[in-house]
Amino acid sequence: MRRRAILGYGAGGVAALGLTLLAGWWQVDGSGALAREDDGRPLPLTAMEFDLVDHEGRPVSPDMLVGQPSLVFFGFTFCPDVCPTTLADISGWLDELGTATHELNVVFITVDPERDDVEAMAEYVGYFHPAIRGWTGLEEQIVRAAEGFRATYERATTDSGDYTMNHTSSVFLFDAAGRFVSTVDYHEPREFAVPKIRRAMEQETEGAT
């Protein structure tokens, strides 16, 4: 089973890096990039409305992310390159943040609910940092979530007759009040990504004083 070939987020990220940059560029920034119908910023979490379940089968919604800064990434468990690389990167960011990790919500939302049920999501996120939560649910609720985050995705048939999912690859960063702060790009180095997260966490501290 392909998922079991992922032996750990650190090793997986390093092994995949060289092969995935070109493929990731094509899908994310090159001629294979998805056209966005709306170039606007994501809605505040407080303005989003959708109902999903996490990888432990518990009901979740956007209001559960308010109160702490949040990192949100859309992808799918059969993703060959962008998703495991990004989740490995996120795991590295969380390792660098250390004990501050418990002050963050970190969520991976599937865009392929047909294959990514609760069990599949639980297995997949288990290969990465334990702070990462997997969210899945009904297709119409995934659509509503993507609309709120201004994320895009589409199903694409492969040469073998199977299918894959093209999708937004940026990580969305929100502050503790649920306001959109920034995105972390697929290509963005850790030395730029982690300071963005720290700034969002400092906004939480300043707001609480």
Q: Is 52 exposed, middle or buried (0-12, 13-18, 19+ CB in 10 A)?
A: buried
153: amino acid identity, one letter: Y
Q: Indicate whether 65 pLDDT > 60.
A: yes
The DSSP symbol for 174 reads E
44: amino acid identity, one letter: P
Sign of CA dihedral 9, 15, 16, 22: positive
Q: What pLDDT is recorded for position 203?
A: 79
Phi/psi at 194 (5° precision): -65, -45
Of 4-13, 50-59, 125-134, 168-177, the one with minimum mean pLDDT is 4-13
Average pLDDT, the chain: 84
In the sheet that holds 180-184, the strands lie side by side as 59-60, 52-54, 132-136, 105-110, 70-75, 171-174, 180-184
What average pLDDT score do residues 28-41 get? 46
The full length of the chain comes to: 209
What average pLDDT score do residues 89-94 get? 96
72: amino acid identity, one letter: V
Q: What pLDDT is recorded for position 129?
A: 97
What average pLDDT score do residues 6-30 get? 43
Q: Round to whole Å and give the CA distance between 147 and 135.
A: 16
| 117-140 residue pLDDT tens | 999 999 999 999 999 999 999 999
Going along the chain from its start, the domains and CATH numbers come out as 40-208 (3.40.30.10)
E strands of 16-162, at which residues? Answer: 52-54, 59-60, 70-75, 105-110, 132-136, 153-157
Residues with Cβ within 8 Å of 138's Cβ and at least 6 positions away in sequence, in order, are 113
Q: What pLDDT is recorded for position 32?
A: 36
